[in-house]
Structure 1
């Protein structure tokens, strides 16, 4: 049996007046998602446990079959594994965004989606100037890492920058709840402010300003934590798995779980990612893997940007270029199973994540279909309300999907 899980990051939304009360997923043309919903089974999934922040780290850890309440230690350490940063016992890894600040406001959480090539020069300048604080590691585009030696740093309160765009920076800096942590927060907040003095003067940023692009003129530290302890995926599920993504976070989770991180040229983690390439490499990976997670960041980026049309187009590309290709190539087999779902909502109106339950759809040849007419928030929820099912905890989804596929073989 071969298993494919397609994750449209932030794909689901709320009804929008610009779409006459529909969601982007309702408005998008998604014949392949609808096929899975009509001919398979659908339900609702709580990927973010109560009391936890609705980040892609928590939600994707859930989807991959691990309880965040038990295993999650922070976003930074997950990304550290992806880029080869080896964490020691007292190390704390921070996610380090390159941001744009203007007049004390957080103007852009991704510095105009600065390129990795440009960012590499900025990260080098930060290491040269601030080596006494810790070490910076190059990631992708605006997403980088800062490693601090001192386990107390994991206890600081930090804020995702995409949640406070347009807000005063001073109000959302790192915070502590005792004298030791207060002193540490002052030190690291000082680092963030000092980074502006160094980055503003870099030739890369001067060129960006001349070209009317947002400069990466400050760093933002958040999502910190120590190295997690995660049992290997192969031991937990007795399956050999792989990940396909353009995002370091997902690659990092894959590294800790012992999954194969398949490199897809052109997988960018943005609107221009190579959807067809992801499908192609997924199919090739199934030759020597049992399960592949295909993650697409584009809908989430559109949600953060408040761009309705980009979100619709991203959803349609996932449907046509990934799910369409998978169904076409797997059509002759009777021993495969497909799942499609988001990790969390990223509603256009609020431009950030929520912890609301998300709809999933699963399909395998020979399975019994439920009464869902299409794959979208309204149709799946209506079908779910008519059933006796309960909202599933996110980390239980993968086991359910595997068992569902195996039951389908016997129907």
Structure 2
């Protein structure tokens, strides 16, 4: 049996007046998602446990079969694993964004999607200037890592920058403000502006009409997690396909194979077809592949309705369409489609609302769901005897579902 889980990051939404009361998922042309829902089983999933922030880290850890309440220690250390930064037991890993600040306001949480090549020069400059504070590690585009060798810093309260776009920087710095490490790291963030603003990379970006990466933002900190290996837990050889370091980091800790796809960018321009090609190759010697697509989430954060619809349609056509065409040649298979969390256009950030899933395996039972979208799946769910499932239970459900063929 071969299993594929396709995760459309932030794909679900709320009704929009611009779409006559429909969501982007309802408005998109998704014949393959609809096929999976109509011929398979669907329901609702709570990927973010009560009391936890609705981050992609927590939600994807759930989908990959691990209870965040038990195993989650922070986003930073997960990303550390993906970029080769080995944390000691006393280290704290912070997610480090390059951001754009304009007159004291957080103008852009991704610095105009700065390129990795440009970012590498800025990371080098930061390490030369602030080597006494800790160490910066290069990630991808605007997403990087900062490591501090003192686990006491893990207790600070930090804010995701995508939650506070358009708001004053000083209101959302690390807290409590009088904590010694808050004082130290808030000073580091503010001093980074002096280094970055003068850097040739940013001078060139401004000349070209691009947003400068003129400050760093530290958040999502945590210590090294301890998690059992995926194969030991599920008896399956697994792999991940993504353009996002966070997902690769989770994969590293779980002992999954992180498959490199050259055109996987973690943005609108990601190589959807390439992800399928590499997924099918991975399935030759793996049992399960997680295919993660960041584009719908990026569109949600940007408040871009049309980009979100296009991202959903590309997932449907270029990923699900090709998988449904090619997977039968590999023998028995099962496929799932779901988001990790909603990223509604109107609020431009994540929510912890339950998400719809749909699973399909030829010969297995189907329910009365007519299409794959928030409304159709919720309607079918309410008419069924199904219970709201915790996210970390999904994978076991998916495996069990596909093992029961109708006689």
TM score, norm. by length of structure 1: 0.98
2:308 pairs, out of 286, 311, 327, with 311
How far apart, CA to CA, are the structure 2 residues paired with 1:326 and 1:184?
49
Q: Is the 8 A contact 1:49 1:68 kept in 2?
A: yes
Matched, 1:324 2:314: no
Residue of structure 1 in register with 2:128 after alignment: 128
How far apart, CA to CA, are the structure 2 residues paired with 1:190 and 1:118?
24
Matched, 1:395 2:392: yes
Give the C-alpha shift of residue 334 in structure 1: 4.9
Q: Is the 8 A contact 1:339 1:360 kept in 2?
A: yes
Matched, 1:363 2:385: no
Residue of structure 2 in register with 1:85 after alignment: 85
Residues 127-166 of structure 1 aligned to structure 2 (within 5 Å): 127-166=127-166
Q: Is the 8 A contact 1:275 1:322 kept in 2?
A: yes
Residue of structure 2 in register with 1:27 after alignment: 27
How far apart, CA to CA, are the structure 2 residues paired with 1:169 and 1:24?
31
Residue of structure 2 in register with 1:275 after alignment: 272
Runs of 4+ in 1 over 4 A off after TM superposition: none
Residue of structure 1 in register with 2:47 after alignment: 47
Deviations 1:173-209 (A, max 9, x none): 00028x6xx1210110000000000000000000000
How far apart, CA to CA, are the structure 2 residues paired with 1:11 and 1:39?
21
> What SS does structure 2 have at the residue aligned with 1:101?
strand
Residue of structure 1 in register with 2:38 after alignment: 38
Deviations 1:100-146 (A, max 9, x none): 00111100000000000000000000000000000000000000000
Q: Is the 8 A contact 1:91 1:150 kept in 2?
A: yes
Residues 10-409 of structure 1 aligned to structure 2 (within 5 Å): 10-176=10-176, 182-332=179-329, 334-408=331-405
Give the C-alpha shift of residue 253 in structure 1: 0.2
How far apart, CA to CA, are the structure 1 residues paired with 2:196 and 2:22?
43
How far apart, CA to CA, are the structure 2 residues paired with 1:278 and 1:163?
29
TM score, norm. by length of structure 2: 0.99
How far apart, CA to CA, are the structure 2 residues paired with 1:99 and 1:84?
23
How far apart, CA to CA, are the structure 1 residues paired with 2:392 and 2:330?
28
Give the C-alpha shift of residue 150 in structure 1: 0.5
Q: Is the 8 A contact 2:65 2:392 kept in 1?
A: yes
How far apart, CA to CA, are the structure 1 residues paired with 2:206 and 2:387?
52
How far apart, CA to CA, are the structure 1 residues paired with 2:255 and 2:297?
26
Give the C-alpha shift of residue 330 in structure 1: 1.6
How far apart, CA to CA, are the structure 1 residues paired with 2:200 and 2:330?
55
How far apart, CA to CA, are the structure 2 residues paired with 1:333 and 1:277?
18
Give the C-alpha shift of residue 331 in structure 1: 3.2
Aligned-residue CA RMSD in angstroms? 0.8
Q: Is the 8 A contact 2:2 2:330 kept in 1?
A: no
How far apart, CA to CA, are the structure 1 residues paired with 2:191 and 2:160?
20
Q: Is the 8 A contact 1:334 1:365 kept in 2?
A: no
Give the C-alpha shift of residue 333 in structure 1: 5.2
Deviations 1:241-292 (A, max 9, x none): 0000000000000000000000001000000000000001001100000000
> What SS does structure 1 have at the residue aligned with 2:44?
strand
Deviations 1:3-61 (A, max 9, x none): 00000000000000000000000000000000000000000000000000000000000
> What SS does structure 2 have at the residue aligned with 1:253?
helix
